[in-house]
Amino acid sequence: MTSVQDDQQSAYHAAHSALTARYGHLALKFTPASQSASGQHEASWVGGSVSAGTEHELLALVRTAMGDCGGEGHLWVTEDINRDPANSDNVLISQRLECADCPEQERVTTLYHPLPTPAEARE
């Protein structure tokens, strides 16, 4: 028989893994309170960061910052990756949200990427 605490930890790790997989392209990183300079649970990614007193509060803040409902079907699909005309060291990642529980959305994320993208390398 598992304890409530084990179930909560398991749910946290499942949600943590899902977010890391969805937003890996943004270098999403979680830091436990025991290893952070602030003594709080922290998450950081390209373009943002949040901190919270508990792991579950941290997950909620990350989801909010990412515009993520937390559902299994919440998926940002990359439509296009183009070099940023304003800064050639960056790429612009155009994405469309596929989620039954969320309104249709599109977004463009700027990511520092001075090396050729796979498409540029093929040219």
**Confidence class for position 8, pLDDT limits 50, 70, 90:** low
- The residues that bridge with 108 in the sheet, in sequence order, are 94
Q: Say what percent of the chain tops pLDDT 90.
A: 45
| pLDDT at residue 1 in the model | 47
Domain boundaries, the chain: 4-66, 75-122
DSSP string, the chain: ---HHHHHHHHHHHHHHHHHHHTGGGT-EEE-TTTSSSSSEEEEETTEEEEESSHHHHHHHHHHHHT----TT-EEEEEEEEE-TT-TTEEEEEEEEE-TTS---EEEEEEE--SPPHHHHH-
Identify the band that residue 4 occupies on the pLDDT scale cut at 50, 70 and 90: low
Per-residue pLDDT tens digits for 33-88: 999 999 999 999 988 999 999 998 999 999 999 888 888 788 888 999 999 999 99
Give the model's pLDDT for residue 2. Answer: 55
pLDDT, averaged across the chain: 87
Q: Across the strands, what pairs with 80? A: 94
Q: What is the mean pLDDT of residues 110-115?
A: 90
- Residues, the chain: 123
For the question of whether the overall pTM of this predicted structure is more than 0.85, the answer is no
Sign of the alpha-carbon torsion through 67, 87, 25, 9: negative
Q: How far is CA 95 from the centre of its chain?
A: 13
